[in-house]
């Protein structure tokens, strides 16, 4: 099941929602946290499509989330530049995820920092060796292709690849 298929059942109306084919997105008896957070976020953006860009989020995973859920979302406060929105996933009468989303319009930066120079790239992804093959939870095995980015390990400067 693709991410698009996972999000298909979510409507602007929210409420009772049935997700099918979640076998590849389960982590034990609960939906993988990243997938459930994406569901909660998608419920917000489909209900309130005119929100400014997302600027921050606080997500709490409260209890196991299953395939039958009630999606709740509400605007807590909306001003001229910022909207604060709460969303929740409920399963079997209990809250399983609660999230607080902060959306805000763009503002002029009060400081500008140049990005660090790009370090030597270890090569194209198709040449990288697989990592964690046969290891980790089923949702990682079935939904992600994890490749080793470089050989270097240990102390040194932190590097963010983009």
pLDDT in tens, the chain (162 residues): 688 888 889 999 999 999 888 877 888 888 888 889 999 999 999 999 999 999 999 999 999 998 899 999 999 999 999 999 999 999 999 999 999 999 999 988 888 888 777 666 677 778 888 887 888 777 777 778 888 776 666 666 666 554
Q: Is residue 52 part of a domain?
A: yes
Determine the structural domain holding residue 99 and report its residue range: 3-104
60 in a domain, yes or no?
yes
Residue 87: inside a domain, yes or no?
yes
Residue 16: partners with Cβ closer than 8 Å, 6 or more residues away: 68, 69, 70
Quote the pLDDT of residue 154.
63
Residue 151 lies in a domain: no
Flag whether 139 is in a domain. Answer: no
Cα–Cα distance, 150 to 146 (Å, whole number)? 12
| Alpha-carbon span 73 to 94, nearest angstrom | 15
Q: For position 1, what pLDDT does the model report?
A: 65
pTM: 0.74
Q: Domain total for the chain?
A: 1
Please state, in angstroms and rounded to a whole number, the distance separating the CA atoms of residues 87 and 113: 34
Sheet holding 68-78, edge to edge: 15-18, 68-78, 82-91, 94-104, 54-61
CATH classification at residue 58: 3.10.129.10
Could you report how far apart the first and last alpha carbons of the chain are, in Å?
A: 26
């Amino acid at each position: 099941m693709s991410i698009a298929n996972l999000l298909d059942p979510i409507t602007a109306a929210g409420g009772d929602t049935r997700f099918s084919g979640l076998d590849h997105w389960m982590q034990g008896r609960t939906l993988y946290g990243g997938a459930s957070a994406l569901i909660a976020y998608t419920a917000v953006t489909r209900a309130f499509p005119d929100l400014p860009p997302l600027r921050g989020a606080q997500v709490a995973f409260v209890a196991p989330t299953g395939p039958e859920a009630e999606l709740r979302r509400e605007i807590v406060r909306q001003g001229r530049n910022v909207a604060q929105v709460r969303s929740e996933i409920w399963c079997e009468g209990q809250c399983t995820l609660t999230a607080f989303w902060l959306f805000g319009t763009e503002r002029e930066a009060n400081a500008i920092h140049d990005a660090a120079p790009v370090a030597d790239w270890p090569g194209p992804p198709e040449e990288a060796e697989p990592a964690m093959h046969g290891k980790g939870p089923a949702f990682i095995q079935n939904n992600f292709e994890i490749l080793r980015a470089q050989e270097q390990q240990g102390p040194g400067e932190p590097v963010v690849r983009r």
